Amino acid sequence: KQYNYHKFSNMAPQSREKLLYENDDLELVDAFSKKGYRTKPILYVNGEKVPEDLAAKARSNQTLLSFLREVMKLRGSKLGCSEGGCGACSVMISKKDPKTNQVKHLAVNACLMPALAADGCHVTTVEGIGSVKGGLHPVQKAMTELHGSQCGFCTPGIIVAIYSLFASSAEAKHIEEHLDGNLCRCTGYRPIWDAARSLCDDAEDLVKGPCGTACRECPERDDCEQDCNVEDKATATTTEKGVKSCSATKLSLKKEFEEGKTNWLDQPNDMFPKELMDENSPVSISLSKPLIIVDQVEYQGSGTWFKPTTFEQLLSLLKEFGQDGQGGYKLVVGNTEVGIEMRFKHSIYPRLISPAETVESIFDFTVTPETVTIGGCTPLSLVQHEAEAAAKDPLYTRTTMPMHDMLRWFASTQIRNVACLGGN
């Protein structure tokens, strides 16, 4: 048996290509099982629980995209850049927030997210949103009718990104920011923008002039005498909140896209497994236990996955494997750095420890008159939104609003949803 990963971690990639490892952590399974650890992940995909025999195939160093495409045979999500930059692999992760007991929906990069990080979550891929056979979702119809797809490679990820935006009940003003993690080299983005905006009640009109610019975005709107602009100004109204309402043309488009799917905004919550919301269900009780997955396949880079559910369990793992000669470990939250190191730098990590969100102290964001406390595993998107909410109080504006403004331009929505200040 060879288990001295550190011995080979600094070798040139070409020198390590044929090295195989047997995971000695197999000897730990019985001991951790006696401590109450689970040995099988619980996964949900597109409204259905993944059968145990398929869920058991999820490996510690396997990405969610690999699991979906190779094990689940769901090949709608694409592999593009492999580093979370293009968004072609985007899927939506839905999970119960332990603090609010509400379901939260997040777009993530499946090319970076570990498959086992989806334990206890519901994964929605483009296949689960809609299909020609089962009926297209309004987002898919809008993308089709408004020419938001050309070569089609990026389309699944863009549809999922828009779908997850509406799952969070966001407004049209958030569309551009929410699509910052999706690249398209064909359309120039305007048709994609129009498709997403056409489904918003508070969106601006899609009327365009012969110049190709949307009338309400034209810098010469007040002086332009084109018929389209004159007509648009006549039909545009303003609500009590100061948001411009849709024109007859826009409303007719939305009604066309919504045909047969009047409750489409509720679809993400309707698909979310009910047993994950019931804390007394057998599944929820099982998920309250920590998880250990030992990769039993002999291949380069095999390792062990730990998911502690309490702070005490986390400290126990760090103490046990942090000692000299124990092989070491790597804390993983979003895998936005470790995933790239493993893929492009051929790094090998024998053990990955991914704390559950029930370890609240490291997923916390608290503001007091004296301090701002941010847990090392708190997602950057949560920091961004909580900082904006705290800034409404004049006492905290000067401190928290700069956090929001900086994070808004940092990375992408998919990255911010999983990345944290602690890294990895």
User: What number is the average pLDDT over the span 233-257?
Assistant: 53
Predicted confidence at residue 22, as pLDDT, reads 64
Q: In 247-344, which ranges are continuous DSSP H helix?
A: 248-258, 267-271, 274-277, 282-287, 311-321, 338-344
pLDDT tens digits, one per residue of 51-69: 999 999 999 889 999 999 9
> Lowest-confidence range among 173-182, 263-272, 384-393?
173-182
Query: Is residue 234 predicted with pLDDT exceeding 70?
Result: yes
- Cβ 146 vs Cβ 198: under 8 Å: yes
- 3-class DSSP state for residue 180? coil
Query: Is residue 418 predicted with pLDDT exceeding 70?
Result: yes
Q: Which two tokens stand for residue 297?
A: 């396949």
pLDDT tens digits, one per residue of 147-172: 999 999 999 999 999 999 999 866 77
pTM of the model: 0.84
User: What number is the average pLDDT over the span 121-135?
Assistant: 95
From CA 257, how far away is CA 182, in angstroms rounded? 23
Ranges 21-30, 143-152, 300-309, most confident: 143-152
* pLDDT band at residue 208 under the 50/70/90 scheme: low
* pLDDT band at residue 21 under the 50/70/90 scheme: low
Predicted confidence at residue 33, as pLDDT, reads 95
Query: Residue 70: how many CB atoms within 10 A of its CB?
Result: 13
Predicted confidence at residue 141, as pLDDT, reads 94
* pLDDT band at residue 17 under the 50/70/90 scheme: very low
pLDDT tens digits, one per residue of 336-357: 999 999 888 888 788 999 999 9
* pLDDT band at residue 258 under the 50/70/90 scheme: confident
Ranges 15-29, 158-172, 232-246, 390-404, most confident: 390-404
- Cβ 352 vs Cβ 306: under 8 Å: yes
